[in-house]
Amino acid sequence: MKIIRSLFYFALAAMLLAAGNLQTQSAQAASSLAETPIVFAVIGDYGKGSAEEADVAALVKSWNPEFIVTLGDNNYPVGSALDIDAHIGQYYHEFIYPYQGGYGAGADANRFFPALGNHDWMTDSAQPYLDYFTLPGNERYYAFTRGSTRFFILDSDSSEPDGNDAASVQAEWLRNELSASTAAFNLVFMHHAPYSSGQHGSNTDLQWPFKQWGADAVLAGHDHTYERLNVNGLTYFVNGLGGSTLYAFNNILPESQVRFNADYGAMRVEMTATRLQFQFFDRLGQLQDSFVLDKIQTLETTSQAVNDGVTLELAKTLNVGGASNSSAPTFQIGDDAKNRQYRAILSFNTASLPENAIITRALLKIRKQGLAGTNPFSILGGLKVDMRKPSFGAIGLTASDFQATAGRTAVATFGATPVSNWYSAILSAAGRNYINKTGTTQFRLYFAIDDNNDNAADYMKFFSGDYSNVDIRPTLVIEYYVP
């Protein structure tokens, strides 16, 4: 049965996809993603209407995934319109939009993203499949973004009008799309496996330079097995145990790392801003493989001795600097016996960050050396942090750094309870985004209340960038990824 799609559905789907892409494609959006994972599922070679498919579908739905991606062969044996709803909609209708089949309500927005398989092509050039689904692009191969990841669905079949080898129109589309992607992760999905130890084996036409083009992993089916391979530093998955039959492993490739073919199952993937965890479960819920892709890199740098130190207020009521010291092995923050405020300047070379780095976390750490009077954390409010790039005034420390205009104010507050004498502050998004990727980033530290009018010194001393032991100097730890 051919499903007729109205112009309304086309327009609404286009609007939803456009809005979603605009919202999620930018690197800025990726850097602010919540750490609560987005879960999605991947199934392959499933559409047989079998008891095994029903078991796998129940497993998948027990995870409550946000969406499902398939690896082809959605409708056995020949991709017929007579079978398609019974083989797909019966088990996954609540993820499909628009859904006009007979097994219940569909989704409010599409959450089902299939790839074409060779069995889907066997009737009328895959027309039943194209009628059944409403998908982006030309519906045979397409891309979409969810969370931190850009998903590229290919048509690996030799019947694809735009070709399926590395010189094809389809391959050129993928290369350009990967080049333009700003997502943290780029995942490629298809039916025929570029590399496989299973019955069908590797498909050399599909051994495209995926890593060189920017892919982070490639997932395929066709062989009814589960396999994870590492080929020249790029991870490939074969996942074809969605409900059809089970295949043997024939010629084991040297790149093969994990293999499973004892039962049916599916992949559960957890996605955060910087991490993907792939897990394969059999239909009994037993974990058979787990693999993590993590994009986080870390820059850890200590404060520059010549540019950091302490500035002291000229007089209690003036709020301007009167003295500075950039050579002492410690610095003070708090007030002195004349109720003048101490402020500290810390200076870090952050030029080694890649220009396109997306900073996901920045931690500023200072280590206590001693205390004079009453603990200022208990009487002077929070220990605040301002920022300026490349420096608050001249690059070297001067008294005027005390009152110099900040580029960003109050980007962090130090916790009042130290760990092994280390006090830490996590920068806000505004602070992370202000870090200088081409030079120096400076921080000014001060208590929210300038003094407590007791004519007694109440300050804490911390080790500075001049201290001989580099391991306890002020430290900036930046976590980031490069799209």
In one letter, which amino acid is 361? R
**For residue 387, how many other CB atoms are within 10 A of its CB?**
23
How large is the average pLDDT for residues 231-245? 98
Handedness of CA 243, 247, 253, 259 (dihedral sign): positive
pLDDT above 90: residue 17: no
CATH topology of domain 7-294: Purple Acid Phosphatase; chain A, domain 2 (3.60.21)
Give the separation between CA 438 and CA 441, rounded to whole angstroms.
Answer: 9
Is 76:86 a contact under the CB 8 Å cutoff? no
How large is the average pLDDT for residues 473-483? 93
Is 339:451 a contact under the CB 8 Å cutoff? yes
- The pLDDT of residue 35: 60
pLDDT above 90: residue 195: yes
Give the separation between CA 34 and CA 393, rounded to whole angstroms.
Answer: 36
Long-range contacts of 387-390 (CB under 8 A, 24+ apart): 387/411, 387/431, 387/434, 387/441, 387/442, 387/443, 387/444, 388/442, 388/444, 389/434, 389/435, 389/436, 389/439, 389/440, 389/441, 389/442, 390/436, 390/439, 390/440, 390/441, 390/442
Q: Do the domains spanning 7-294 and 299-481 agree at the CATH topology level?
A: no
Give the separation between CA 437 and CA 202, rounded to whole angstroms.
Answer: 43
Single pTM value for the model? 0.73
Q: pLDDT tens digit string along 376-430?
A: 999 999 999 999 999 998 788 999 999 999 999 999 999 999 999 999 999 999 9
In this structure, what DSSP letter does residue 124 have? G
- The pLDDT of residue 1: 36
pLDDT above 50: residue 14: no
Q: pLDDT tens digit string along 421-464?
A: 999 999 999 999 999 999 999 999 999 999 999 999 999 999 99
- The pLDDT of residue 156: 98
Domain boundaries, the chain: 7-294, 299-481
- The pLDDT of residue 395: 81
In angstroms, what CA-CA distances link 63 with 96, 236, 284?
17, 23, 13
Is 124:159 a contact under the CB 8 Å cutoff? no
| Check whether domain 299-481 has CATH 2.60.120, yes or no | yes
Give the separation between CA 110 and CA 103, rounded to whole angstroms.
Answer: 16
Helices (H), 45-197: 51-62, 84, 90-92, 127-132, 169-180
Q: Residue 5: which pLDDT band, with cuts at 50, 70 and 90?
A: very low
Structure tokens at 415: 């916790």
Is 181:356 a contact under the CB 8 Å cutoff? no
pLDDT above 50: residue 222: yes
Q: pLDDT tens digit string along 27-44?
A: 344 334 446 899 999 999
Handedness of CA 23, 93, 113, 268 (dihedral sign): positive
- The pLDDT of residue 147: 94
DSSP for 411-474, written as a single string? EEE--SS-BTTEEEEEPPHHHHHH--SSSEEEEEEEESS---SSSS-EEEEEE-TTSS-GGGS-
How large is the average pLDDT for residues 99-120? 97
- The pLDDT of residue 393: 84
- The pLDDT of residue 273: 87
The strand ranges marked E within 319-357 are 321-325, 330-335, 341-349
- The pLDDT of residue 28: 40
Give the separation between CA 94 and CA 97, rounded to whole angstroms.
Answer: 8
Structure tokens at 216: 């982070």
Q: pLDDT tens digit string along 129-152?
A: 999 999 999 999 999 999 999 999
pLDDT above 80: residue 116: yes
- The pLDDT of residue 426: 98
Sole residue written with tokens 């083009």: 213
Give the separation between CA 441 and CA 325, rounded to whole angstroms.
Answer: 19
**For residue 6, how many other CB atoms are within 10 A of its CB?**
9
- The pLDDT of residue 378: 96
Identify the weakest region by mean pLDDT among 29-43, 249-263, 300-314, 344-358: 29-43
In one letter, which amino acid is 295? K
pLDDT above 70: residue 184: yes
Sole residue written with tokens 């931190």: 148
Length of the chain: 483
Give the separation between CA 132 and CA 86, rounded to whole angstroms.
Answer: 12
Per the prediction, the chain carries an average pLDDT of 92
- The pLDDT of residue 482: 85
